[in-house]
Structure 1
């Protein structure tokens, strides 16, 4: 395996913060190309398994906001939650190349779960991690999105030149039982998108809908109050469905 490790963050701009994991996707693509180049130049036969990439550390971490010498304890907001969701979309889309990806850390410091004397507090980034771990399994389904694109500054700046930044970030899987899971993240701070989902259609029954959002970019979960969680509902699968501003939506249906 070849190792990569990246943390992303942009504390000053929630949109740039959410799109920052696209830098990791480009890093995976570049690394995969270099692996291919090394195999070609060294005459490695096709019978030798292709080396994969280990993303040995990844997460949202701003060392200015949560300095290591002070414990590096992040208080994640909604923007961070959507950034982690895009991180996870990246790993699904690039799973051909990524053999392992380890979030740093699992509990406390920069993590989805924070312990306290009365129990465990689930941060905003916990909820996309939970949904992906439960449902994004099986095989990747090729997905394409047609929507408006973000044209502003990015962090890092080179994302503007190296990656497309549609407002909707998408990945999809299908499991052994034929259940499709589609994740759509709307990073737009002001606009809801009403979109028709085409392709693999529901066989029968309704589509399960899991929504992660909040009333503003800055909302955080605390020991006493959960501002961000999962809202569950159902959709009949007909016509268009809504992807609200500042949200992650997972749709699941039997194909």
Structure 2
């Protein structure tokens, strides 16, 4: 039987820094390239759908139809992005997911940094491609609307908590069994549902990379810190909560970089 405080010490005890040479390891580089392309696919589909809807409707993204269209596009795009990289990099596609898994001891710090760089680059390239292929249309940046900036921060924390909690339950938990095959579907669904809940208020980013690419290309940085702080706090909390309360630590530790 574990000691009374064992479950509360495990997440911090399992956090691993890794080694600097992970940046040059072929497996890590291959995983980073997979993260780059999967994030590019996701952002191109999601931001592209918003740009297309804006063009068709004359910039009316906050209409009910626009919200549903965004939810469907991002949900489907994320489902595909996670699926195509799951067997290579575990399909993070999101710095908040990477951070949440790092906090739980499921990926090393150095590999996590490599993933996050790849994710940010994938988002930027996707937005540059959208700007080029649409003849210079503005890539819409995420913005706070109708609520205070602190309310927006809480929105992003709660929505990202739900996303990373879903990642843990369907992909990272070693006891997941056959439910693992539906992980990309569940992850896509929770993102779509959260967009319906918070899209009208914050755009429902839940992903610093998704926010960073459009902000850089359009050069609109208003309240951009919310789209880093909220997802990273929410993702970190989800990692700690799931590791502390639900993952059985009788299992062998998961290999670095793997769910």
TM-score of the superposed pair, with normalisation by structure 1: 0.28
TM-score of the superposed pair, with normalisation by structure 2: 0.28
Higher relative helix content = 2
Higher relative strand content = 1
